[in-house]
A and B are shown apart, each in its own frame.
Chain A
Amino acid sequence: GQQVMQIPQYQHVQEGEDFTTYCNSSTTLSNIQWYKQRPGGHPVFLIQLVKSGEVKKQKRLTFQFGEAKKNSSLHITATQTTDVGTYFCALSGGSNYKLTFGKGTLLTVNP
């Protein structure tokens, strides 16, 4: 089945710095979803991207889907301590839209 590679595995930033995580695939993706998991918590849906070149914004978060639909990124502007957690990209596919997760990027923020 389709897999996604997610980088970096870890990212430590000072509060106020920007953060970006990348998701890459060797095959064309029909869609990609992003989830956030706080430490000790459960995955929480952030967004779904479907269209080639799509860019969506949620406050300080910017999500992009590549033109070839083989990569995606999540960018956080001016990180805050509340942004701490693991950010996962995930593919929705199969007969009932099962999710295939990337390995995630753990973001820590130094206040």
Chain B
Amino acid sequence: EPEVTQTPSHQVTQMGQEVILRCVPISNHLYFYWYRQILGQKVEFLVSFYNNEISEKSEIFDDQFSVERPDGSNFTLKIRSTKLEDSAMYFCASSITRDEQYFGPGTRLTVT
């Protein structure tokens, strides 16, 4: 069964550094998303991406965040200058319809 994959599984970085989180959505899916989950809390929407452009972003998704789909398979989330409060699990998800989203296993980001 097709799966969303994410790399790395765990990223440790120092405050102020840039990180790139990578995702490979399911190949025939059209809608792509990034969510984050701070430990013990609910899953929060960051950004949605369709037809090679951002379709919606949350208040969390400020100027330090960006997304790209550099080729036909990868979907990346870049955090330009990480802060301590960016420490969280970041999930990529993809969907082909509005009925369900498929989540990747996540990247645990630790900012020290």
Contacts and interface: CB of A to CB of B under 8 A. Distances in A.
Interface in A71-105: 88, 90, 92, 94-104
A10 to B, nearest CB: 11
Nearest to B35: A99
Contact of A44 (B44, B48, B99, B103): B103
Most chain-B CB neighbours within 10 Å: which of A33, A42, A90, A92? A42
B65 interface: no
Interface residues of A, number: 23
A31 to B, nearest CB: 8
Contacts of A102: 42
Interface string A24-39: 0000000101000100
A20 interface: no
B45 A88 contact: no
Contact of B100 (A37, A48, A88, A104): A48
A53 interface: no
Contacts of B41: 103
10 cross-chain pairs, A with B, having the tightest CB-CB distances, nearest first: A45-B100, A97-B98, A42-B103, A96-B48, A96-B55, A101-B43, A103-B42, A98-B45, A101-B42, A43-B103
Interface of B: 31, 33, 35, 41-45, 48-50, 55-56, 91, 93, 95, 98-106
